[in-house]
């Protein structure tokens, strides 16, 4: 009987889970949409109902006695206040919700070091500060922490990746002293461990609910972004992952932390390495302003990626860029427009590929290692012409991503925890 680890991903629209063998192959997968359980996707009751249904579906296709560990990832920066029993005391503030209190933002701006990820209206710390005066509040948890707590009964622990935007100092391995100066009550912040550390075992009730052994380990998870990186199989310094979705996001594994608030860059620790990256305002959403998906597929089939249009585009939907150029007024550059639609699309693909190449160079300038390989995820990764253009621009080996499912990356953490606990 091959042992299995389970990774659970709480996304913005649904829950996904995978069961993974020790060789990283996937034994089973399951997914359900959040809206199946209610219209309010920010309701923790909806989260747990979706997790319960997804996990039961997953377990129906595997040997439950083979499960050794479970880990959870969630949206970065989502915070909810709970009481001593782990019951939510208010509707969570989600990853993209902004705290409007000027006093809260001002005190963070004054007390937090420039390089801290706690700055900004969407930071975890801003949300925790806004919640801490609620009657009966005992802890501030992140989305993944709360779901993991349903399995282990622990509502006092988080991981380094989810805690980064709440102000945790990953390099020092502790909540920093300036947190108290911001007015945050330290006793409300969770204890923090590394992703992949075992934090407990299944409660009797949870084991019974899912028909699992009581000794299944609950393992500290991560954010959805970090989980997606881990899922690809990237594991060495210099390995890069490019996400070609509605926006262009690049990440690279580094042997040292990289911090550049000007570009919105902070580093998450993954094992003994660091994950740094940035997101451009360019990407698929710009292409969609000009062409339908069907038209992009049609035109791409006729593109010769070995030649260059020399049009030097910087495709943006509206003025403003954050990375690899930090300029809120940077104008789009999409002229002159060729009469031929195919050449126009090609020039746009070249422009986005040039932004990608500049992004990896910018990370190297900031202290990251030189790019050695790229794995691609997202809808644009399937475009062969675009891939060939990108290979020409980046000049490194393109490797196949083992998976583009965040749940698979979290299952890798669950495997790590099980292995270190001697459960495999």
Burial of 179 (0-12, 13-18, 19+ CB in 10 A): buried
Per-residue pLDDT tens digits of the chain, which is 424 residues long: 799 999 999 988 899 999 999 999 999 999 999 999 988 999 999 999 999 999 999 999 999 999 999 999 999 999 999 999 999 999 999 998 999 888 999 999 999 999 999 999 999 999 999 999 999 999 999 999 999 999 999 999 999 999 999 999 999 999 999 999 999 999 999 999 999 999 999 999 999 999 999 999 999 999 999 999 999 999 999 999 999 999 999 999 999 999 998 898 999 999 999 999 999 999 999 999 999 999 999 999 999 999 999 999 999 999 999 999 999 999 999 999 999 999 999 999 999 999 999 999 999 999 999 999 999 999 999 999 999 999 999 999 999 999 999 999 999 999 999 999 999 9
The verdict on 272 and 210 lying in the same domain is: no
The verdict on 80 and 220 lying in the same domain is: yes
Phi, psi torsion values for 22, nearest 5 degrees: -65, -20
* pLDDT tens-digit map of 61-77: 999 999 999 999 999 99
The verdict on 177 and 274 lying in the same domain is: no
The verdict on 273 and 330 lying in the same domain is: yes
205 three-class SS: helix
The verdict on 201 and 239 lying in the same domain is: no
**CATH no. for residue 59?**
3.30.420.40
The verdict on 173 and 240 lying in the same domain is: no
The verdict on 239 and 220 lying in the same domain is: no
The verdict on 187 and 276 lying in the same domain is: no
CA pair distance 144, 313, nearest whole angstrom = 40
pTM of the model: 0.93
Name the nearest CA neighbour of 120 among 99, 137, 147, 95.
Answer: 99
The verdict on 212 and 307 lying in the same domain is: no
Phi, psi torsion values for 152, nearest 5 degrees: -100, -20
CA pair distance 1, 3, nearest whole angstrom = 6
72 three-class SS: strand
The verdict on 222 and 240 lying in the same domain is: no
Please spell the DSSP secondary structure of 342-410, one letter per residue. Answer: HHHHHHHHHHHHHHHHHHHHHHHHTTPPPP-EEEEESGGGG-HHHHHHHHHHH-SEEE--S---HHHHH
CA pair distance 162, 144, nearest whole angstrom = 8
The verdict on 214 and 247 lying in the same domain is: no
The verdict on 190 and 249 lying in the same domain is: no
For residue 66, give its domain range: 4-226+406-420
Specify the number of domains making up the chain: 2
């Amino acid at each position: 009987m091959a042992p299995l680890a389970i990774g659970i991903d709480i996304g913005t629209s649904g829950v996904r889970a995978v069961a993974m063998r020790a060789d990283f192959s996937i034994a089973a997968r399951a997914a359900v949409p959040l809206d199946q359980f209610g219209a309010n996707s920010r309701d923790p009751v909806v989260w747990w109902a979706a997790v319960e249904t997804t996990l039961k579906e997953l377990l129906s296709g595997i040997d439950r006695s083979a499960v050794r560990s479970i880990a959870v990832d969630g949206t970065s920066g989502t915070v909810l206040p709970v009481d001593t029993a782990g019951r939510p005391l208010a509707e969570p503030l989600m990853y993209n919700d902004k705290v409007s209190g000027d006093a809260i933002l001002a005190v963070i701006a004054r007390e937090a070091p420039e390089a801290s990820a706690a700055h900004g209206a969407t930071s975890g710390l801003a949300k925790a500060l806004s919640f801490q005066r609620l009657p009966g509040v005992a802890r501030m948890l992140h989305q993944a922490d709360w779901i993991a707590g349903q399995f282990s009964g622990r509502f006092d622990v988080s991981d380094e990746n989810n805690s980064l935007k709440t102000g945790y100092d990953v390099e020092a391995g502790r909540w920093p002293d300036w947190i108290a100066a911001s007015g945050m009550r330290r006793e409300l912040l969770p204890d923090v461990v590394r992703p992949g550390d075992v934090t407990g075992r299944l409660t009797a009730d949870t084991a019974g609910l899912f028909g699992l052994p009581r000794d299944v380990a609950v393992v500290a998870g991560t954010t959805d972004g970090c989980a997606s990186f881990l899922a690809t199989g990237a594991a060495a310094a210099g390995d890069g992952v490019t996400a070609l979705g509605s926006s262009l996001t690049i990440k690279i594994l580094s042997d040292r932390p990289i911090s550049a608030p000007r570009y919105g860059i902070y580093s998450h620790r993954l094992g003994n390495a660091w994950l740094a990256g940035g997101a451009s305002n360019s990407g698929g959403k710009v292409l969609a302003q000009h062409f339908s998906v069907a038209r992009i597929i049609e035109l791409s089939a006729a593109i010769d990626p070995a030649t260059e249009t020399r049009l030097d585009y910087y495709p943006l939907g509206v003025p403003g860029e954050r990375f690899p150029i930090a300029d809120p007024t940077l104008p789009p550059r999409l002229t002159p427009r060729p009469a031929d639609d195919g050449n126009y699309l090609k020039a746009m693909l070249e422009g986005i590929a040039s932004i990608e190449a500049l992004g990896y160079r910018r990370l190297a300038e900031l202290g990251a290692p030189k790019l050695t390989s790229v794995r691609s995820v997202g809808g644009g990764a399937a475009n062969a012409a675009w891939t060939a253009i990108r290979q020409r621009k980046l000049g490194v080996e393109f490797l196949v991503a083992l998976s583009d499912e965040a749940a698979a990356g979290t299952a890798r953490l669950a495997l790590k925890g099980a292995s270190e606990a001697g459960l495999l």
